[in-house]
Amino acid sequence: MIVRIIALPVAVEGLLMLLCAWVGMAMGDATAHHIVLPGAVTTVGGTLCYLASRLRRHSAAGRMAYLGVTLLWIVLASVGTIPLLASGSFTSFTDAFFESMAGFTTAGASLFGQVEQLPACIVLWRSLSQWIGGFGIVLLVLAVVPTLGIGSYSLYTAEISSADNTAKLDTSISHTIRHTLTVYVSLTVIFIALLVTSGLTPWQAVNLTFTHISSGGFALFNDGIASLSHTQQLILLFAMMLSGINFAFLYLLFSLKFQSLRQKLDQLSFYLLLTAAATAVSMTALHYRMHYGWSDALRLGALQSASAITTTGTMAADTRLWWPPLTLLFLLLALCGGMAGSTSGGIKAMRVLILLRNVKKSVLGHLHPHAVDPVRLNGKPLADSLVTNVMVIFFVYLFTLIGASAALLLTGMAPIEAVGDAVACLSGYGPGLATSGGFGSYAHLPSAAKLICSLLMLLGRLECIPALILLTPAFWKR
C-alpha cells in the first residue's frame, strides 16, 4: 500500500532528473552528466517497485494513508537530494535535504545566497521540484486528507461538488484531479508565454513560472525579481495571486461558470480583501517611512503582500532593509496563507475566516445566549464539529510553531530569528527574519536547525495533522 503510494512519484522524479540532465547538457552544463545515471536508476527502481506492489492487492487502509503521505514527501525530498549532491552543489546530506524539502514543499527557503552561479541543471531541478510539489499538494489535499474531516477536502468539495452532488466520491475525485491538472498546466503554459512575450528568455520564463505558479519562490537571480521590468513583475504578481486561489475556483472561472462561482465568493473576497489591505498598509508605510515614490511603493507593496499571503516568498526588494513592522506584517500574512485547495501554504484564508466568524459568534452569543446562529460560510451553516476541527488545526499549528521556536532556540539561534524562521518554514513562505530574510539565505543555520526547518516545512505542507498523528501511540495500536 505504502510502496504503491510512493513508488510511482519516485519513478516520475527519476524521469525529471533525466530531463534536467538533458536540458543541462544541451545548455553546456559540465555537471549535468553526473545526474544521468542516478536519474536512470531512480526511474527504473521506482517503476519496478510500483509494478511489484501491483502484484499484491491491498485494500486501502485509511490510516496507512497518513503514513504513506508523510513518507512520500520524505522519500521525494531524499531522492531529490541526489542531483544536488551528484552535481557537487552540496557536500552535506542535511543541506541537500533542506534544499530539496524546500523545493517539494514549495516553501522556497534556500541555502543558496548566490543562485546565479548554480549549474543550469540544478536551477531547473529546483524549479521543477517546486512545480511538482505545487501540484502534489493539490493531489494530497484531494486524495489523502479527506478522512481528516478538517477541512481542506470537505471545504474544497463543498465548493466543487455542488455542481454534481450525486457523484460518488471517487469519480468526483478523479474528475477534480483532471480539472486541477488542466488548470495547472494551462496556467503554466499561459504564463510562460506571457513572460516570453514580455522579453525574458524561454529559460528564465520557464523557471520563473515554475517557481511562482506553485507559490514556491526559489529565486532565479541573486536579487530576486528586483531587476525585472515592471511588466514582468506585474505578470509574476498575477501568477502569484492565482497560485493562492482555489483550483476549483479557477476551473469554474475558466469554464465560465460564473453562476456557480457567485455562490462561493466568501473565501475569495476575504483573500482579496486581506491582500488589498496589506498592500495599502505597506504602500503607505513604504511611502512615508522608506521614502519611495507612490508608484514604486504601490508596486513593491503589492508584490510583497502577494508574495507573503500566497507564501511564495519571492522578493522584489531586500525586505531586510525595510521597516521592521512591515516584515512582521508579511510573516503574519504568510501564516494566514491563501485559499484552501490552492498551492499556497499557511493556515489558509478559509480557516482564518471561520475562526474570525466564530469569534464574532462567541462575542455576540454573549449578548443573546439563547440565540442559535451557527457560523456560516457562503451563506450555508457549518456543522459545529467542523468549526471545532478548524480551531483544533489552528492550535495544533500554533503549538507546532511554539515547539519549533523553542527547538531552534536550543540550537543557539537568536530569538527573533528562531521565531521568524519557524514561521517562514512552517507556513511555506521561505524568507524569515533578519539574516534569512530578504535576499539572504539559510546557509548560516547550524545543521540541527536546518533539520528542524526541513521538518517544519514538511509539517506545514501536510497541514500538521497527517504527520503529527503518526506520533500518537494510538496510531500504532491495532
Partner 1 sequence: MLLYLAVALLLPVTMSAVVRDGALTALLLSEAATTLAGLLMTGTFRLLASKSRPHRGGTAKRHNALWITATVWTLVPLFGALPFLLSGTLASPVDALFESVSGFTTTGASLIVQPQTIAPSLLLWRSMTQWIGGLGLVLFVIAILRRIGVASLELYEAEFSGTLGRKLHPHIAVSVSRMWRIYLLLTLLLAAALLLCGEGPLRSLCIALSTVSTGGFMPTEGGLTGLRPATSTVLTVMMFLSGVNIALLFHLVCGRPRPLLRSREFHLYIAIYLVATAMVALSLTAAGNSLRHSLSYSLFHIASTISTCGFYLPSPSHWSLWASGVTFLLLFLGPMAGSTGGGIKLKRIMILGHSVRNYFTHILHPSATLPLSVDGDRVEPDYVSKVYAFVFLYIMLTVAGAFILTLCGLDLQNAFAMAAANISNLGASPLLTNLGASIDYPALPLVGKCTLMILMTAGRLEIFALLAIFFPAYWKK
Interface contacts to partner 1, rule CB under 8 A:
63, 147-149, 324-325, 328-329, 332, 355, 358-369, 384-385, 387-389, 391-392, 394-396, 398-399, 402, 405-406, 409-410, 415-416, 433, 465, 468-469, 472, 474-475
CA gap 234, 237 in Å, rounded: 5
Determine phi and psi for 82, rounding to 5 degrees.
-55, -50
Which amino acid is located at 142 in the chain?
L
Q: CB 115 → partner 1: shortest distance, Å? A: 28
Relative to beta strand 380-381, strand 376-377 is: antiparallel
CA gap 305, 472 in Å, rounded: 37
Q: In sequence order, what are the residues at sequence separation of 6 or more whose Cβ sits closer than 8 angstroms to the Cβ of residue 212?
A: 191, 236, 239, 240, 243, 312, 314
Q: 211 or 389, CB closer to partner 1?
A: 389
Q: 187 or 425, CB closer to partner 1?
A: 425
Cell (9 digits) for 438: 530578504
Q: CB 225 → partner 1: shortest distance, Å? A: 26
Q: 28 or 379, CB closer to partner 1?
A: 379
Q: 26 or 328, CB closer to partner 1?
A: 328
Q: CB 148 → partner 1: shortest distance, Å? A: 6
CA gap 307, 314 in Å, rounded: 6
Position of cell 527547538?
Answer: 407
**DSSP assigned state of 89:** S
CA gap 209, 308 in Å, rounded: 17
Cell (9 digits) for 129: 521540484
Position of cell 548566490?
Answer: 114
Q: CB 453 → partner 1: shortest distance, Å? A: 18
Q: CB 402 → partner 1: shortest distance, Å? A: 7
**DSSP assigned state of 478:** -
Q: CB 398 → partner 1: shortest distance, Å? A: 7
CA gap 410, 419 in Å, rounded: 12
Q: 72 or 419, CB closer to partner 1?
A: 419
CA gap 153, 159 in Å, rounded: 10
Q: CB 375 → partner 1: shortest distance, Å? A: 9
Q: 202 or 412, CB closer to partner 1?
A: 412
- At residue 463's C-alpha, the angle toward residues 68 and 380, to 5°, is 115
Q: 119 or 420, CB closer to partner 1?
A: 420
Q: 61 or 185, CB closer to partner 1?
A: 61
Q: CB 61 → partner 1: shortest distance, Å? A: 12
Q: 291 or 366, CB closer to partner 1?
A: 366
Q: CB 150 → partner 1: shortest distance, Å? A: 9
Q: 40 or 409, CB closer to partner 1?
A: 409
Q: CB 136 → partner 1: shortest distance, Å? A: 22
Q: Are 390 and 359 in contact (CB under 8 A)?
A: no
Q: Among the residues of 291-383, which ranges form H helices?
A: 294-309, 324-336, 349-365
Q: CB 456 → partner 1: shortest distance, Å? A: 17
Q: CB 127 → partner 1: shortest distance, Å? A: 32
DSSP 156-189: HHHHHGGG-TTS-HHHHHHHHHHHHHHHHHHHHH
Which amino acid is located at 417 in the chain?
E
**DSSP assigned state of 382:** P
**DSSP assigned state of 271:** H
Cell (9 digits) for 359: 469569534
Q: Are 206 and 233 in contact (CB under 8 A)?
A: no
Q: 41 or 61, CB closer to partner 1?
A: 61
Q: 265 or 364, CB closer to partner 1?
A: 364
Closest listed residue to residue 346, CA positions, set 328, 327, 331, 357: 331
